[in-house]
Structure 1
Amino acid sequence: MQLDLNNQFIFISSWSARKMTQDDFSALQQVIRKTSELKENKRGEGQMGFRIEDLTKEDAGYIGQKINEIVPREMDKDAEEFVLKVENDDGEIIGGCIAEAYEYHWSRVLLEDLWVDERYRRQGIGSMILREVERIAREKGCRVVTLGTASYMARPFYEKHGYTVFTTLKKANGHISYSLVKYLDADTPEYIPANNSGTRFRVSLGSESDAEAVENGIDTYSEAYEPEYEDIGFYKKLVDKDGRLIAGVIADVHKGVYAYIDALFVEEPLRRQGLGTTLLKEAERLAKENGTPMILTNAGDWNVDFFKKNGYLLRGELKDVPKGHNCYELYKEI
Structure 2
Amino acid sequence: MALIRRATKDDFPQIISLLKSFPDDPEIPDINWDDAQTVLPALLSEEHGLILVSEDNGVLAGLVTMSFPIVLRFGGEYALIEDFIVDERFRGRGIGSPLLKSAFEEARARGCRELQVNGASEIGKPVYIKNGLHEAGQHLKIFLR
**TM-score normalised by the chain length of structure 1:** 0.33
Contact 1:294–1:331, Cα closer than 8 Å, also in 2: yes
Tell me the alpha carbon deviations over residues 66-94 of structure 1, each in whole angstroms, 9 at most, x when there is no partner.
Answer: 11x3x5658xx7259xxxxxxxxxxxxxx
Residue 289 in structure 1 maps to residue 109 in structure 2? yes
Quote the offset at 1:272 in angstroms.
Answer: 2.1
Counterpart AA for 1:269 = R
Quote the offset at 1:52 in angstroms.
Answer: 2.8
Contact 1:247–1:276, Cα closer than 8 Å, also in 2: yes
* Aligned equivalents of 1:249, 1:262: Cα separation in 2: 7
Contact 1:254–1:292, Cα closer than 8 Å, also in 2: no
| Equivalent of 2:124 in 286, 295, 303 | 303
The equivalent of 1:333 in structure 2 is: 143
Task: Give me the CA root mean square deviation.
Answer: 2.7
The equivalent of 1:62 in structure 2 is: 17
Q: Secondary structure at the match of 2:126?
A: helix
Question: How do 1:38-53 residues align onto structure 2 when only pairs under 5 Å count?
Answer: 48=1, 50-53=2-5
- Specify the structure having the higher radius of gyration (Cα): 1
The equivalent of 1:275 in structure 2 is: 95
Contact 2:84–2:124, Cα closer than 8 Å, also in 1: no
The equivalent of 1:137 in structure 2 is: none
* Aligned equivalents of 1:72, 1:286: Cα separation in 2: 27
**TM-score normalised by the chain length of structure 2:** 0.70
Quote the offset at 1:305 in angstroms.
Answer: 1.5
Quote the offset at 1:232 in angstroms.
Answer: 4.5
Q: Indicate the larger mover: 300-309 or 275-284.
A: 300-309
Counterpart AA for 1:274 = G
Contact 2:15–2:60, Cα closer than 8 Å, also in 1: no
* Residues 1:287 and 1:58: Cα distance change in structure 2 (over 3 Å): same
* Aligned equivalents of 1:313, 1:239: Cα separation in 2: 28
Count of residues in correspondence between the two structures: 122
Contact 1:231–1:254, Cα closer than 8 Å, also in 2: no
Contact 1:258–1:293, Cα closer than 8 Å, also in 2: yes
Tell me the alpha carbon deviations over residues 172-228 of structure 1, each in whole angstroms, 9 at most, x when there is no partner.
Answer: xxxxxxxxxxxxxxxxxxxxxxxxxxxxxxxxxxxxxxxxxxxxxxxxxxxxxxxxx
Q: Secondary structure at the match of 1:284?
A: helix
* Aligned equivalents of 1:254, 1:78: Cα separation in 2: 24
Contact 1:313–1:331, Cα closer than 8 Å, also in 2: yes
The equivalent of 1:250 in structure 2 is: 65
Name which structure has the greater RCO, CA cutoff 8 Å, separation 6+.
2
Unaligned runs of 5+ in 1: 1-47, 81-229, 318-328
Counterpart AA for 2:133 = Y
* Aligned equivalents of 1:51, 1:263: Cα separation in 2: 19
Unaligned runs of 5+ in 2: 33-45, 71-75
Runs (4 or more) in structure 1 with deviation over 6 Å come to: none
* Residues 1:316 and 1:300: Cα distance change in structure 2 (over 3 Å): farther
Tell me the alpha carbon deviations over residues 40-75 of structure 1, each in whole angstroms, 9 at most, x when there is no partner.
Answer: xxxxxxxx2x223414332332222111x3x5658x
Quote the offset at 1:307 in angstroms.
Answer: 0.9
Identity value in percent = 26
* Aligned equivalents of 1:245, 1:300: Cα separation in 2: 20
